[in-house]
Amino acid sequence: MRQLPALIFTLLLFSATYAQSLPYISLKTLENKGFQIKLLEKEPLVIISFWATWCSNCIYELDEIKELYSDWQKQTGVKIIAVSIDDYRTISRVKPFVKSHQWPYKILLDTNQKLKRALNISNIPEIIILKKGKIVYQHSGYTPGNEDAIFDILIQNIQ
Amino acid sequence: MKYFITAFFICSSILGIAQDKSFLNIGFETNSQWYVNDNRTGKFTAGNALRSNSYLNVNYNYDHFTMQVQFESYAPQALLNFSPNFTSSLNIATFSVNYETDKFNSTLGYFYEQFASGLIFRAYEDRQLGINNAIFGGLLHYKPTSFLSLKGFYGKQRKGFDLSKGHIYGINSIVSISEILKLKNSALSYEFSYVARYQNSVKTNPKFNKTTGAFSNAFHFNKNTFYSNIEYVYKKKDALVKFENVFDNRLFDGNALLFNTGFTYKNFSVDATFRRLENMTFYLNRNVNQNIFNDQRVNYLPSLTKQQDFSLANIYVYQSQPQLAFSPSGKSGEIGYQIDAFYKFKRGTTLGGKYGTQLALNYAIWYGLDAIYDLDNRTYTSKYLSFGAKYFSDLNLEIRKKWSKKLTTLSTFMVIYYNKELLEDNFDQINAWLFLSETSYKLTNLTSIRVKIEHLQTPNDSKNWWSASSEVYYKDISFYVSDLYNYGNTNDAEKIHYYNFGGSYSKNKSRLALNYGRQRGGLLCVGGVCRFVPRTTGYSLNFSTTF
C-alpha cells in the first residue's frame, strides 16, 4: 500500500509533460455507423458528456443544457456529443429515450465502455470540454447551475 | 511484469517528445470503508474494519499504438463481500499493447470485448460489483472492406491476480447486407459468433466434452425511426453443476432467443424486448457455476427490467434466471418481455406547460419456463414458447416535468410482483406499490435543493417502508441527509432507521465523497448484475481523479 502514493507521484510528474489529446477509438452511432473519436481533434470546440438512461443526474444536466444549446452554438460554435454508457441491459432504451427528450446532440454508444475506460471516467455524469482535441475542462457529477460554469469555459476558449 | 512497466515508461518517455501525436491519461479511484459497531445493525466481526479498493489506470497512446496498465490494491482487505480472489495489497492487474488503424486492430495482453448482445460472450469491468473478467491473450479485429468485420481471440481469463486454468477462444463476423445491396435508407446486418471454453477435468474420462462451444446468429435492422434485432444462441452440451458438484452423467445443452424492436412516431416512442433463456449460465470454470461473486463469467445475462437509482425501488429487484437446477425445485430458465413507451407533451399544450412534460412507461414480466422436471433422476423436458410459473412483474410510470426555470419535478408510480418463494427458494409472494416524488428547486444561480420522498406499500414480507432525502448544492459542493425506515415491520428489532449523511466535492477532474451511515444490506445491482452486500454501519470515502 505504501508504494501506491509513490507510484501516483511519479505518474503525476510524468504526466505533467503531456498535453492531453484523444485516443484512437471508434464508437457506434444510433444509426449503427462507426464514428472515430480522433476526428474530434479537428473541431474547434466540443463537449463530450457521458450519460446513461438510468442516470437521473445525467438526464437533469442534458435536459438543462438542451434549453441553452442553440445560444451556446451561436456564441461559441460548440458541438455536444452525448456518449451513452448503457450496456445491453438498457441500450435498446437509448434511441426512444433520446427521441422523446428531443435532444439535439450527436449520440454515441459506448456499450462496452471503451472510451469511458480510455479517458478514465469513474462516475457519470461527466463532462469533458475539448479545444481542438485537447482537454481544457473536465467535471464529474452534476449540480444545478453547473451549466453556467460550462458556458464560462466555452467563452474563454473561443478564438 | 517489471520489465513490461520499465519498457512502458521508457517507450512512452521517448515517444513523449513528439507530443502532438501522443496521449496520456491516468485515472485513480479509491473506495474505502470503515465499518463500525452499531447496536442496531450489529457488531462488526468480519476481520479488518478499515478496508479499501483502489485502482490506478494508465493509458498511453502514441499515433496508432496504445499501451495500458492498471494497478489495483485491496489493502488491508477488499471491501466486504468482494471476491476472495482480490487479495493483493498492490499489484499489476491488467496490461496491454494495442495497435489500431481503420482496417486493423490488434491487442496483446488483457482486453475487454463483447460479441453481439453478450449472450455468449462479454469481458468487462465493473468496479462497484468487483467484476473484471478481462481476457489475457490476443485479440485481432480486421475490416477488409466496408461491409465486413472479422474478429478472433484466444486467451485465459483474469481471476483476481491470477489466470483461469481453462482457455477461451472465439470468432465473430459482421456482414453489412445493406452495404452489399447498396441500400441507402436502411441498414441490415448479419452477425455470427462462436465462443468456446476448454477446461480440463479432474475426472478421468469424463462423459462430457472438455470443450464447450456456443454459437450465436443475429440480425440487426434499422430504417428511419424503426429498428429491430434478433439473436438466437445455442450452447453445446455440458455437465450439470450444483454447488461445485459436477454431475458428469447429466449433460444438458442451452439456448437463448432475444428479439427487440421499436419505433418513433412524432412525440411517441416505443421499445419492446422479448427474451427466452434456457440453461444459459456459462463460466470459464464449470465448477464455479453460479458463484455469488460473479467470478469467471463468460457471458452477460442481465435482467431486463427498468434499472432504478432510487432506494426503495431496489428492495424487490429481479435477477435474471438463466440457470438449470433440480433442487429444491426444478428450474431451467426464464421467459418474458419488457415494453417501454415514451411520450412528450409539447410545450404550450395544456399538459405540456411552458417547458413540456415527459411520460415514461415501463412494463416487464418474467416467468420460469414451462417444463416438467424429474427431480430424482435430474432430467426435464421444456416447451418452447410457453410460460411457466410467474417470477416477477413491474409496471412503472414516470412523469418528469419542468414547471419553471427554477422548479423541476419527477414522480414515479410502480406496481411490483416478486415471487420470493421461487426466486429465493424462500416463502412468500410479494405484491408491492411504490410511490416516489422528487423535487428540484433552484434557489439562486449557485444554490439549489432537491427533496425526495418514497413510500413502498406491501401487505407481505417485511411490510411498509418509507424513505426521505434532501440534498443541498452550492457550486461544486453538495450535502445530503437521508433516512430509510421499515415502519411496517412486525418485528421491532427490524425497525431500523437506515440514516445516512455526507457530502461531495467536485473540482475539475477530481471528485471526493464522504458518507456516514447505515447500509440496508441486500442486493447491489449494476446493469442487471447483482452482488450481495451485508447490513453494516460505517464511514465511506470515495475519491476519483484523472491527470
Read off the pLDDT of residues B426-436 as tens digits, 9 standing for 90 and up: 889 999 999 99
Residue B150 near residue B144 (C-beta atoms within 8 A): yes
Segment A93-115, tens digit of pLDDT: 899 899 888 899 999 999 989 99
Segment A14-52, tens digit of pLDDT: 555 555 568 888 899 988 888 999 899 999 999 999 999
For residue B277, which of B339, B367, B217 has the smallest C-alpha distance?
B367
Cα nearest neighbour of B115 on chain A:
A112
Q: B159 - beta bridge partners?
A: B162
Asked whether the predicted pLDDT for residue B300 surpasses 50, the reply is yes
The three three-digit cell numbers of residue B56, written as one number: 490506478
Fold adopted by A19-156: Glutaredoxin (3.40.30)
Asked whether the predicted pLDDT for residue A142 surpasses 90, the reply is no
Predicted pLDDT of residue B472: 94
Angle A56-76/A146-156 helices, nearest 10 degrees?
30
Separation between Cα atoms, residue B40 and residue B19, nearest integer Å: 57
Q: Which domains does chain B have, with CATH numbers?
A: 1-35+322-547 (2.40.160), 72-301 (no CATH)
- ∠ at Cα B164 (B159, B169), nearest 5°? 115
* Residue B364 neighbours by CB under 8 Å, 6+ apart: B304, B305, B306, B318, B336, B337, B338, B339, B392, B393, B394
Return the sign of the alpha-carbon dihedral for residues B384, B385, B391, B392.
Answer: positive
Predicted pLDDT of residue B17: 47
Predicted pLDDT of residue B182: 92
Asked whether the predicted pLDDT for residue B280 surpasses 60, the reply is yes
Predicted pLDDT of residue B3: 54
A29 touches chain B (CB under 8 A): no
Separation between Cα atoms, residue B308 and residue B62, nearest integer Å: 40
Residue pointed to by grid coordinates 474563454 = A156
Peptide bond into B76 cis (omega under 30): yes
State how far Cα B174 lies from the chain centre: 25
Question: pTM for the whole thing?
Answer: 0.91
B6 touches chain A (CB under 8 A): no
- Class of residue A2 by CB neighbours under 10 A (exposed 0-12, middle 13-18, buried 19+): exposed
Measure in Å the smallest separation between the Cα of B20 and chain A Cα atoms: 8
Residue A34, number of CB atoms within 10 A of its CB: 12
The three three-digit cell numbers of residue B153, written as one number: 481471440
Separation between Cα atoms, residue B90 and residue A21, nearest integer Å: 29
* pLDDT, chain A, mean: 87
Separation between Cα atoms, residue B191 and residue B84, nearest integer Å: 37
Confidence label for B213 from pLDDT (cuts 50, 70 and 90): very high
Chain B interface mutation, best of A93, A98, A138, highest count of B Cβ atoms under 10 Å = A93
Segment B369-397, tens digit of pLDDT: 999 999 999 999 999 999 999 999 999 99
Predicted pLDDT of residue B460: 92
Measure in Å the smallest separation between the Cα of A84 and chain B Cα atoms: 13
Average pLDDT, integer, range B11-31: 71
Predicted pLDDT of residue B164: 94
A13 touches chain B (CB under 8 A): no
Q: Strands, E, within A85-154: which ranges?
A: 106-109, 126-131, 134-140
The answer to whether the CB atoms of B64 and A24 lie below 8 A apart is yes
Residue pointed to by grid coordinates 441491459 = A89
Asked whether the predicted pLDDT for residue B11 surpasses 70, the reply is no
* pLDDT, chain B, mean: 91
The three three-digit cell numbers of residue A45, written as one number: 470546440
Confidence label for B203 from pLDDT (cuts 50, 70 and 90): confident
Measure in Å the smallest separation between the Cα of B222 and chain A Cα atoms: 7
The domain spans of chain A are: 19-156
Q: Which residues of A touch B58 (CB under 8 A)?
A: 11
Confidence label for A13 from pLDDT (cuts 50, 70 and 90): low
Residue A107 near residue A98 (C-beta atoms within 8 A): yes
Segment B57-99, tens digit of pLDDT: 999 988 888 999 999 999 889 998 899 899 888 899 999 999 9
Please state whether beta strands B113-114 and B135-145 pair in parallel, antiparallel, or not at all (unpaired).
Answer: unpaired
Separation between Cα atoms, residue A132 and residue A45, nearest integer Å: 6
Interface of A with B in 76-95 (CB under 8 A): 87-90, 92-93, 95
Written as one letter, the residue type at B414 is M
Measure in Å the smallest separation between the Cα of B437 and chain A Cα atoms: 13
* Residue B183 neighbours by CB under 8 Å, 6+ apart: none
